[in-house]
């Protein structure tokens, strides 16, 4: 039984990049979640909350809650933002809070370039004493019984955009904080447990194509990396009658899914995504994610739809 659980854990780690950082589908509707340089680029006070239930058919599957707000300070060409996150997977619970600042540089009447940094505190808690599958004679688990630690966390990114095009690069955990480094005895010798935050890289590029007044097409590609592990997401999305976004996506080495966003009015938008893995990941079950966004715009800002603002 223990070998089976370890095998399943290996599969989960391979699919989820060890799940240090949560997986999101709705980054298309809130790129601030992956890039601090996006903060302030919506020309509104943007408040977004999301809930994700990943691999719903797998016990101890990841469950993630995220809340963010960001806005511009146009007088100084700045953007600022705040974010909070909680991610649970098995015996591990992660909570974090961040603040960010960005500088938005106009390159021309159409092009803008934003530089952003994000800093915060991230807390990792392990409760392996709650598991019932471990060998009680294996004291390697003792190191993680009710273990928790809070460390400084730093992210950075750049974001280049027009009304119909965007390109961004960002890196999380720039300081690669160390959470655990301890030794324990085993088999007459000693072994070491080390756990560091690994830098996660994000590269995103997208282009919107105006077809007619009632139809707009967006093509988006996201490349993610953790060390030598890479994966890509390709999505195609359409805006129908300036009210409904519908899209499909394929995730390399995993499977695919679909998403949608309803623009209720000038302030409120609601999104939902569904994804399902294929092959060895199929038994893990489906994933569901919901998002609610609220934009507070100045009274003299009459913009409702911008092709870049999924």
- 48-94 pLDDT tens trace: 999 999 988 777 789 999 999 999 999 999 999 999 999 998 888 99
**What would you report as the CA-atom Rg of the chain, rounded to the nearest whole angstrom?**
21
79 neighbors 71 (Cβ within 8 angstroms): yes
Domains, in order of start, for the chain:
2-296 (2.40.160.40)
153 neighbors 122 (Cβ within 8 angstroms): yes
Q: What is the mean pLDDT of residues 276-290?
A: 82
> Is 284 strand, coil or helix?
helix
199 neighbors 178 (Cβ within 8 angstroms): no
pLDDT at residue 154 tops 90: yes
pLDDT at residue 10 tops 50: no
What is the torsion angle, in degrees rounded to the nearest 10, for the CA atoms of residue 275, residue 279, residue 280 and residue 285? Answer: 30
pLDDT at residue 305 tops 70: no
What tokens were used for 42? 């919506």
Task: Give the C-alpha separation, 153 to 118, whole Å.
Answer: 8
* Confidence label for 106 from pLDDT (cuts 50, 70 and 90): very high
pLDDT given for residue 184 in this prediction: 66
Residue range 157-207, pLDDT digits in tens: 999 999 999 999 999 999 999 887 776 666 666 767 777 889 999 999 999
Task: Give the C-alpha separation, 133 to 131, whole Å.
Answer: 6
Measure the N-to-C terminal CA separation of the chain; round to a whole number of Å.
45
pLDDT given for residue 130 in this prediction: 61
pLDDT given for residue 302 in this prediction: 52
3-state secondary structure 202-247: EEEEEEEEEEECCEEEEEEEEEEEECCEEEEEEEEEEEECCCEEEE
- In this prediction the pTM is 0.85
pLDDT given for residue 301 in this prediction: 62
* Confidence label for 1 from pLDDT (cuts 50, 70 and 90): very low
What are the φ and ψ backbone dihedral angles of 161, each rounded to 5 degrees? -155, 155
What tokens were used for 284? 């893990």
Task: Give the C-alpha separation, 208 to 77, whole Å.
Answer: 25
Nearest Cα neighbor of 154 from 200, 87, 222 is: 200
| Residue that is written with structure tokens 């995504």 in the block | 273
What is the torsion angle, in degrees rounded to the nearest 10, for the CA atoms of residue 195, residue 230, residue 169 and residue 259? Answer: -110
pLDDT given for residue 9 in this prediction: 38
């Amino acid at each position: 039984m223990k070998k089976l659980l370890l095998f399943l854990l290996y599969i989960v780690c391979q699919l989820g990049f060890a799940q240090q950082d949560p997986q999101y589908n709705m980054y298309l509707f809130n790129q601030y979640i992956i890039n601090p340089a996006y903060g302030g680029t919506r020309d509104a006070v943007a408040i977004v909350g999301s809930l994700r239930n990943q691999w719903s058919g797998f016990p101890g599957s990841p469950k993630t809650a995220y809340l963010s707000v960001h806005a511009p300070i146009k007088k100084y060409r700045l953007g600022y933002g705040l974010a909070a996150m909680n991610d649970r997977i098995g015996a591990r619970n992660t909570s974090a809070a961040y603040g960010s600042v960005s500088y938005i540089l106009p390159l021309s009447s159409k092009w803008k370039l934003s530089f952003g940094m994000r800093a915060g505190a991230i807390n990792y808690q392990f409760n392996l004493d709650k598991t019932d599958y471990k060998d009680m004679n294996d004291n390697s688990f003792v190191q993680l019984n009710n273990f928790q630690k809070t460390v400084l966390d730093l992210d950075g990114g750049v974001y280049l955009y027009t009304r119909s095009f965007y390109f961004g690069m960002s890196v999380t955990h720039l300081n690669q904080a160390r959470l655990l480094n301890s030794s324990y005895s085993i088999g007459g010798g000693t072994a070491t447990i080390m756990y560091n935050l690994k830098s996660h890289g994000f590269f995103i590029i997208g282009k919107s194509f105006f077809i007619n007044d009632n139809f707009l097409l967006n093509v988006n590609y996201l490349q993610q990396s953790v060390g030598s592990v890479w994966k890509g997401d390709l999505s195609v999305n359409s805006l129908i009658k300036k009210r409904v976004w519908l899209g499909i996506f394929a995730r390399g080495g995993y499977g695919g899914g679909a998403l949608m966003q309803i623009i209720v009015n000038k302030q409120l938008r609601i999104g939902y995504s569904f994804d399902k893995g294929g092959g060895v990941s199929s038994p893990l079950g489906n994933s569901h994610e919901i998002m609610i966004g609220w934009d507070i715009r100045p009274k003299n800002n009459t913009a409702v739809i911008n092709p870049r603002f999924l």
